[in-house]
Amino acid sequence: MLISEIIRRKRDGQTLNRQMLDLVMKGIADDSIGDAQIGAFAMAVYLNGMNRDEAIALTESIRDSGQVMRWDDLDLQGPVLDKHSTGGVGDLTSLVLGPWVAACGGHVPMVSGRGLGHTGGTLDKLESIPGYDVTPPDATFRQLVQDVGIAIIGQTGSLAPADKRLYGVRDVTATVESIPLIVASILGKKLACGLKTLVMDVKVGSGAFMPTPEASRELAEAIVAIGCGAGTTTSVLLTDMNQPLADCAGNALEIQEALRLLRGDGRNQERGDGRDSRLYTVIRSLAAEMLIQSGLAASAEDADRRLDRALDSGEALERFSRMVHGLGGPADLAERADHYLAAAPVEIDLTATDAGTLNAIDTRELGLAVVELGGGRRNAGDAIDHRVGLSQIAALGQAVEPGQPLLRIHGASRADVEAASHRLRRAVTLSDAPTEAPPLVHAALRQQDLSGPRKSEETQ
């Protein structure tokens, strides 16, 4: 069948079957389809949507456009599982979650990405560590997943190659905001890793990828339905991003925070402002969901016992250290983090000019300030300054007095810090009235929670 006829069918609102979608994705992957036809296909889907069966078929076609990992030849002693987030500011959950779940008996082949827009990227954070290789040979990746239980790397050219090219065209043809295309892009890459279980962290709030809570919920429901329909047990936690998840944002700063949490220092006793317990609670909620959905834990209570044991024994930190060393980083990172993780030469506090309670944070603006400091990319290929970022970020509901720090800016120069401070001051709103922080976990969605196809799968 001609590609133009498949595009015509979708343009006219008809349904595409798996064979048609396989032809399109194969053509995208092997470059036999030009960008014009890719753009026309994406726009047809954007305008007419897809029903649930179509969206599942599209996801499977992207998954199968390249290598699909198999693990049955390694005689693994636990399930293959993973977590993925729609991205946020100060969201370092993967760095802690992967080793923690591995220490509980899971095998986590985590293929992560770089920063996108205002959101930080797991790979950029890991590249703060000298020598860490995010593109190792397949044999090294598989060996670490088998022996250590965790390896966090970047997407290889052989995994879901159709997605990389399709996304690039979507980005310049105003077709990014399509639920079927978003879900197929996320799940196509993840399911190509041969997962049995996937837990998604979909953000809600001012720093979220989706613009409204309703849109985040639609995306979450579509992910569960399509992931399960494609044969992988999939669930979603909707978590809050109305403020940074950690009290820091920036690559090396977040590695330091991950190490602190893996040492067990994040549980309810730090600083008294709730910031660390907030981060710890979200990570623990995701970890428990992974253990329960994969069968590693029989109940929430069992998951709690396993997670406590893995953290208290030091096993979770050891798994992280072994992963770092196995991918070319220093063996003693956990013991000598200050030696290996570079610090910014200029640190200046942004202080409150008035008394009040912090009642709103434009989290997206905080993320863009990190990019402005050099901690993210304005253009593809830009170099990252891993030293820069923000720390000691005040929490929603926190009372401050004039002159009290709202956050600390880490920059390469005083000029950079002063430029970022103007953006940051606009991102923070104080009030005379007390403010209550939103819930950490807004909802949990699993297959049994879905009542049937929703609008999100039938329209853009």
Q: Which of 65, 122, 285, 435 is catalytic?
A: 122
Q: Which of 185, 216, 235, 294 is catalytic?
A: 185
User: What is each CA distance from 98 to 149, 255, 260, 299, 356, in whole angstroms?
Assistant: 8, 14, 15, 20, 39
Q: Which residues share a beta bridge with 109?
A: 151
Backbone region of residue 439 per phi and psi (left: phi > 0; alpha: psi in -120 to 50; beta: other values):
beta
d(CA 195, CA 146): 14
CA atoms within 13 A on the CB side of 418: 3
Is 83 an annotated catalytic residue?
A: yes
Is 170 an annotated catalytic residue?
A: yes
Q: Which residues share a beta bridge with 135?
A: none
Q: Which of 59, 61, 65, 85 is catalytic?
A: 85
Look at the block and give the residue holding tokens 């699909």. Answer: 68
| Six token digits for residue 202 | 């979909």
Is 206 an annotated catalytic residue?
A: no
DSSP character at residue 287: H
Q: Which of 52, 63, 83, 114 is catalytic?
A: 83
Q: Which of 10, 63, 84, 118 is catalytic?
A: 84
Is 263 an annotated catalytic residue?
A: no
d(CA 175, CA 186): 15
Is 118 an annotated catalytic residue?
A: no
CA 185 to chain centroid? 13
Q: Which amino acid is at 455?
A: K
Q: Which of 52, 125, 189, 275 is catalytic?
A: 189
d(CA 396, CA 434): 10
- Kindly give, in sequence order, each residue whose CB lies less than 8 Å from that of residue 405, ignoring residues fewer than 6 positions away: 349, 350, 351, 352, 392, 394
Could you give phi then psi for residue 168, rounded to 5 degrees? -60, -40
User: What is each CA distance from 91 to 49, 239, 255, 375, 419, in whole angstroms?
Assistant: 31, 11, 11, 14, 24
d(CA 440, CA 22): 40
Q: Which of 164, 170, 275, 386 is catalytic?
A: 170
Q: Which of 61, 64, 82, 364 is catalytic?
A: 82
Do 414 and 346 meet the contact criterion of CB atoms below 8 Å apart? yes
CA atoms within 13 A on the CB side of 21: 27
Is 85 an annotated catalytic residue?
A: yes
Give one DSSP letter per residue of 289-312, joined into a string: HHHHHHTS-SSHHHHHHHHHHHHH
Is 122 an annotated catalytic residue?
A: yes
Is 190 an annotated catalytic residue?
A: yes
Longest CA pairwise span in the chain (Å): 69
Of the candidates 385, 204, 199, the residue with the CA atom closest to the CA atom of residue 296:
199
The SS3 of residue 83 is: strand
User: What positions carry a catalytic annotation?
Assistant: 82-85, 122, 170, 185, 189-190
